[in-house]
Every structure is written in C-alpha cells, then in structure tokens.
Amino acid sequence: MLDLGDLFNFSDLSTFTRNIPVEWVASALNLSAQATIRRRRLPSDQVLWLVLGMALFRDEPVHEVARRLNICAQGLASDQLLARSGVTEARKRLGADPVESLFRQTGKQWGGERYEGDDWNGLQVFAVDGALLRTPDSPELREHFGSGNTGTERQTPFPMRRLVALMNVRSHVIPDAQLSPYRGSEMRLAETFLGQIPDNSITLFDKGFWGADLLSSVAEGGSSRHGLTPARKNLVIEEIERCGEHDRRVRMKVSPQARKRNPNLPTHWDVREVSYESQGHARSLLTSLPVESYSAGAVAALYLERWEIELGFRDIKSSMQQNAVTLRSKKVELIYQEVWGLLLAYNIIRREASQAAVAFGRAPSDIRFKPACQYIAVQLIVMAAANPVSATGRRLAELRGGIGGLFLDHRPRPGRPRTVKISKTRYPVDRKAAPLK
C-alpha cells in the first residue's frame, strides 16, 4: 500500500505559506478586541489555531484539543495543562471577527481558482444553498438564535442558526458565506455575497432562492455571469419564442414586492426556460444562458450538480462534526467563532485536497473528504509534538501532507429518491402528547 507520508515532502515549508500567508493571520488577529498583554495569557495566534483544532477534533473537549495540539500559555511549560477556564477566556478575548476575517480572505482567494478541466463549457460552476446548525439549549442562545415550530406549536428541541453559502461545485471550496439567527431570510443573506461570484461563471440555485431581483443581479453584476434555478409551480408565463421542443423564451411579470425592494427592476422579466423529465415528472429550469451556445440537454444535465453543495454540507456536519446534535459552544459570540472556524477548517482541507489532486493529475472532486480530514488531523498532532511552540503561520506552512493518495473510486452510484429524515433529539418523542401551551 502507498505510504501517504511519502507523497509530499514535509520539510518543504514553502508550499502552504503560499496558501495562507502569515500576513493574513496577523491582519485577522489585529481585529481581536483585546490584545494579549498579561503574562501567562494564551497568545492570540495559538487561540486561532485552537479554534481550527476544535473543528477537526469534534469528539474531544476543548481543553483536550489544546493538549493534543501542544498549545500552552506564556510562562507555562509545554507539558503543563491549561486551566479549562483559561481556554474559554482566551476564546472570548479572541472573539469571532478574526476567524471570520481569515475565512473570508482565504475563501475569496481560493474559491475562484481554476483547475484544468473543471470548467463547464468555459464557465466556472458555483452553487448557493442554506443549512441549519443546532446550538445547545439555553435561554441566552434561544433568545438570540430562535428556533422553528412544529405543526403542534411546540418549539423545536434546540435553538438553530442559519448558514447560507456560495460553493465552488468542482473544488467544493466555499468562497463566501453568511450566518444569521434562524429567522433570517436565506435570500437576503445570499444577496450579500453575490458580488463575490466571478465573471465567466454559472451559479446553481435551490428552488428556495426564487426571485427576479436575486437572479437578475447575478447576470447584471459582472461579465458573462449566469444563473440557473428551478421554476416555481403555477407560474403565469407568456411564451415569446419557441427555440426547441424543450426550450423557449418566456416573459413573466415582476411582483410589486420585488419592485418595492428594488425600484430599478422592470415590470416584466424575460428569461429562458428549459424543460426536462425526471422520474416521470415534467420539470422546468430558468436561466440566462444563451440558446446559441448552450443546448437544453446540457443545461438540464448541469443542474444535477447542484447536489454537490449538499454533499459539502454533509461533509461539514457528518465528517467534521461527526453527526453531533449541536455545536459545542455555549455563548453567542463563541457560537459565531466556532462556525467561522468550522468553515475555515473545511476550506483548508478542501484547498489542500485540490492542490494534492492537481499534483497527481486528478480533479479536486476526486479526493475523498473524510479520509483527508482525518489525515490532516493526525498530521496536526504530529507537527504539534515536533514543534510545540511554533506559531500559527508556521504550523500552516507544515500542513501539506500526503492527501494525494485519498482518491475516490468513481463507481456508479445507485439512484435513490431524496428522503426527509426525522431530526435527531435527545428527548423522547410522545406522538400522542398534547401541544405545549
């Protein structure tokens, strides 16, 4: 069997410094509300490294993650353990802003990278979708984040926070994302990062992101930027031009609500409609892709790739969070910090996997995420033992490992209909119980 440790030279420290320059880390840490001054405090760069470690060692308590990564406060020997309260206070001093800033810097740099053969007819492929993350249940977190209600008017067992992300479908790197309490609108959150979509691209939207303002802004916000989304049922559509059996130009009325939010919108919206059949049902897609350059069959096949962003969310929740019921933090600011750290760690794994795949002449999507995540986690422990006092930038420089051996075996997947699973809860569910008043 191929030894993964032999695939890359760990002594070459230049490979990862090109990915996360030390200057980016220093710039992010400058956003911390309180500088590290008092002796024996945990330095900010080590706290940032601890937040990344929390994302990779979800089954370990935070103080144990610090021990595994050999993180120690100034004035303590490397074999002396930190007090648990000291770790929490250090995270509070760091705050969420530095972690968010570093995520956005890396996402902007990595998300638009092109790899040979990963374009679709000359366009980069992106997807936008949302996900929900549960938090521990406390009055503070429930008041801030809120939660959904069941049909029986009973609140869900845990507060929930909303995540909306823009993902590069081929590399699975997340260029940008937004977080909000549960009641936040996915469409409004998505509007904030549409400017990050590069030119010469196609963005796939879930049906929940329907809106003339949203979809028009994608096409008008740059050069050769296109959107692709399912059509809603019972739309009032006027056919303008028939382009093929399953292809036509249509016109729809823009709603007064959309025009109120954006007075620059026209009264009517012209768009291309592509129809196809899936599992015996007729379906329609709306897109700004020109008929002359992109066939209806190719457009319909492309939309199947929207599922890749669902796989990315699965990697975060299942492989990194190990299907944990909730996030681990218990304070509002630390919840934000934890999620930004989770997204940053995810991007680091995906970026390293992409670089390793290219080095072996493979596509970034050929790398299996879970083994890559586990491999990097092991290497972090090895590096920490070898160099316990190294700073964050130095450790990142040493991270490149033998991910190139973790390729997928592209066997055909059996087709299965999408199902809705019952949400996990620690509480017993009595189907006959009366609603809570």
Residue with tokens 């009973």: 154
Crossing angle of helices 97-111 and 22-29, rounded to 10°? 150
Q: Is residue 159 included in any domain, yes or no?
A: no
Domain residue limits at 27: 4-101+328-405
Give percent of the chain above pLDDT 70: 73
Strands 124-134 and 201-205: parallel
Residue 114: what residue type? R
Q: Is residue 237 included in any domain, yes or no?
A: no
Report helix, strand or coil for 281: strand
Query: CA–CA distance from 332 to each of 114, 182, 220, 244 (Å)?
Result: 37, 13, 37, 54
Per-residue pLDDT of 374-391, as tens digits, reads: 887 877 777 666 654 444
Q: Is residue 322 included in any domain, yes or no?
A: no
Cβ–Cβ < 8 Å for 398, 16: yes
Q: Is residue 110 included in any domain, yes or no?
A: no
Per-residue pLDDT of 61-97, as tens digits, reads: 888 888 877 775 544 444 444 667 778 888 888 889 9
Residue 317 is classified by DSSP as: I
Q: Is residue 378 included in any domain, yes or no?
A: yes
**Phi, psi (degrees; rounded to nearest 5) at 247:** -145, 130
State how many domains the chain has. Answer: 1
Q: Is residue 88 included in any domain, yes or no?
A: yes
Per-residue pLDDT of 277-292, as tens digits, reads: 888 788 899 999 999 9
And the tokens for 261? 């939010």
Kindly list the strands in the beta sheet with 247-253, ordered across the sheet, starting from the edge strand earlier in the chain: 176-181, 160-168, 124-134, 201-205, 225-230, 281-287, 268-278, 247-253, 238-244
Q: Is residue 120 included in any domain, yes or no?
A: no
The pTM of the full predicted model, rounded to 2 decimals, is 0.81
Q: Is residue 232 included in any domain, yes or no?
A: no
